[in-house]
Amino acid sequence: MLAAILSPSSATRVFTPTTLHKPPTTFSFLRPFSLPLSASRFQVRAMADSASAPFKKIAIHRDDTTFDAYVVGKEDAPGIVVLQEWWGVDFEIKKHAVKISQLDPGFKALIPDLYRGKVGLDVAEAQHLMEGLDWQGAVKDIRASVNWLKANGSKKVGVTGFCMGGALSIASSVLVPEVDAVVAFYGVPTSELADPAQAKAPVQGHFGELDNFVGFSDVTAAKALEEKLKASGIPYEVHIYPGNAHAFMNRSDEGVKRRKSMGMPDEDEAAVELAWSRFKTWMTRYLSA
């Protein structure tokens, strides 16, 4: 059970099929989320304006559509699809992808552009873009991205995501059979999109104790996710970081400023480093050939 808030010094707990319990009733999911929308407009740089030197831009085809994706990392390394926050493919998700590609022993990170080039410039725009997303289509984009990596040197492929991307990464553990492991940061899918009780790939989740996206990434949502994962029969971990709010992994100067403008002033480098350590351990364990 996730009976207590995990402190940065607490030991990682791995839940396996031997710890199954009855699943709870379905929890409610609210949209738009009850995040305070008092943030002033904070201009962010679009994909084309941010540093793009490490990335190779590719086009991925699926069904009757084509979308751009951005790849960084060792050619034949295990692959990880990195899914954007509700802002779109901006400086922060690229920073995360570069970080992932540099984790020992090395990964090949791929960011699919789920918004087809659009980037939210403030909270209202980001929420509008997320609400307008074709979520089933996004899952198809994820599957095409996983299969592209497997066709281009990666024997195993994981999926990770942040905020909206966190929810989609969990959905991929249910809906994309080619996925080998998932790490989700502060996001849970609607039951209409995917039931985590049906997850087929190992899932690790990270949530902030002070997250106030009610029903999506708050502590109640995290605990409900844990109960669903218990029922799935797959290995899983759920970690809650005390004193941290939503998007606590965003540590770029721009990201810190943006979080503060949204009423999230917490800065906890120890929690960030612990989360990356857990991420690395999980993906290495399940993506090793």
Listed by start position, the domains of the chain span 56-287
**Which of the listed CATH numbers 3.40.50.1820, 3.30.300.30, 3.50.50.60, 1.10.150.650 matches domain 56-287?**
3.40.50.1820
Whether 162 has a pLDDT exceeding 60, the answer reads yes
Pick 34 or 217 by higher pLDDT. Answer: 217
Give CA–CA dist 236/2, Å, rounded: 12
pLDDT digits 0-9 by tens, 117-161: 999 989 999 999 999 999 999 999 999 999 999 999 999 999 999
Look at residue 52 in the predicted model and tell me its pLDDT: 61
pLDDT score recorded for residue 144: 98
pLDDT value at residue 8: 35
- 104 burial (CB, 10 Å; 0-12 / 13-18 / 19+) is exposed
Query: Pairing relation of β-strands 157-162 and 79-83?
Result: parallel
CB 208 within 8 A of CB 244: yes
> At which residue do the structure tokens 């940065």 appear?
8
In which band, very low, low, confident or very high, does the pLDDT at 93 lie, cut at 50, 70 and 90?
very high
In this predicted model, what pLDDT tens digit does every residue of 68-91 receive, in sequence order?
999 999 999 999 999 999 999 999
Residue tagged 């791995």 (tokens): 14
Q: In this structure, are residues 161 and 169 in contact, taking their beta carbons and an 8 Å threshold?
A: yes
CA distance 140 to 114: 10
